[in-house]
Structure 1
Amino acid sequence: MMCSVTAESVWLQQPRYEAAEADFQCYLNKSRTPTTQDNTSCSALVTDIQQIRQQIQTAMNNTGEEKAGAQTVGLEQRVSLLEKENRELKKAVEELKKMTSALNLQLKSGTKANVEVDKNSNNIVTKMDVEETKDAESSEEDDDDVNLFGSDEEEDEAKVREREERIKAYQLKKSKKPALIAKSSVTLDVKPWDDETDMKKMEECVRTIQMDGLLWGASKLAPLAYGIKKLIILCVVEDEKVSVDDLQEKICEFEDYVQSVDIAAFNKI
């Protein structure tokens, strides 16, 4: 087939080749034109990027200035607040100084103290401590002028006697003051052996117990079980003189009548 083509003297495919060449030239022209456009678009893009960079730099500079201004304003506010607090603290310190000086003046002038004690509906007001303090102060003032090498006879004997009399009177008054006695109210349950126990006799035996600081009170019989009754008796004891355990043991010594003794109630008076 190739031999037949080369042997031909007529170029039958020329239009095709020309059309192909024309297409190729058009293709070349088209590829050159976009290249120019691409260069133009690239230069425009570079310009836009430079403008954006410039805008960013300007914005950053403005932000830094604004931050610096805001920090300056914040520092000024803090300084003013600290100055205000400093003035208030100085004012408070001045007031405390005034109060302290006033208290010192009161202490130096000698305030009178009254000790009021309310016991057993009796109000006892004592001023001996204040008077003794005054006497001590007066004695200290007198000691400033005393010659240490002088005799003891130079002391004012009248003041000494008066002070001693006051002390004795105070001690006597204090000794006559009634002392509080701790007492307790105790309710005892005395249980018999059976229903045939003489409860009246048992109560008489219990009341025969006499102790210093023991006072018997009211009593009654209460049902226990199966017709058996127990003795409920009230007594008042002084805590320092009477032991409830000893009292229970003494009651249990009446073995013919008493089976056991229990504490039903115990109240401080």
Structure 2
Amino acid sequence: MSKEKTSHFRTTELANLPSQVGTMKAMTVKSPALSARADLSIFIPDQAKDLSKVPVVILLHGVWGSHWVWSLMGEAHLTLQQMIDAGELPPMILAMPSDGLWGDGSGYLKHAHQDFEKWIVEDVPHAVSEATGNALTAPHFIAGLSMGGFGALRLGAKHPDRFAAFVGHSSITDIAQLPLFVEESLSDYTQEDPSDHSVLETILKHRASLRPFRFDCGVDDLLIEHNRELKRAFDEAGIDHEYEEHPGGHEWPYWVTHLRETLRFFAKQLA
């Protein structure tokens, strides 16, 4: 008699959403990391429907947003499906979680009573696996924009066992920059480990186990000088990375355009 499979989550709600391509799912789970409900959108391209170990790309949103922005504002699923159809990418699943919906943005950090980092690193992969039947051991990648870039660069560096590569677009590089976007006090984001305040310090701390990573920023972005400073610091420290600047600001047209480079970068790691 086989043992009945148990869910990672106490409660789950799952539904298919209308989509021009592939299959889009909306999911709400009771997150163990948050002790609260949390949402994510999951996109399965047509070519992945009968596969069981498909690479998963987790896309983190910025402040003020939620799980729906990468699809409805960023058209990430359309970009992915087009690139797979064109033979540029192998089949990949997109996971687009909320940040936990704390304040203007959780920072994807551990807070006093909720662990928004653990939500992304542990709960989201379980949610994708349960919603799609995809193997939890499939390769996972992580990318994000703005606050999501801060999250992706830090979590990718801290969890090489989970993420095979990571990317930041227009990234906040230190929690000191959060007041540019949020009204909550910086004291709410203070971490026990000061290295968690900074992308640079996180990456330096975990340099021995770093997976491939890249980041980029628009030349008209309010965060451009912070990203340039981060690039210079990596060069001085001898940290292997890719960095690019492009025309554009802190806006969706920039992120829509440069998501393609992120997906190609992830596909390259699978080759």
Identify the TM-score tier after normalising by the shorter chain. Answer: under 0.3
Q: Which TM-score applies when normalising by structure 2? A: 0.14
Q: Which has the higher helix share?
A: 1
Rg larger for:
1
Q: Give the TM-score normalised by structure 1.
A: 0.14
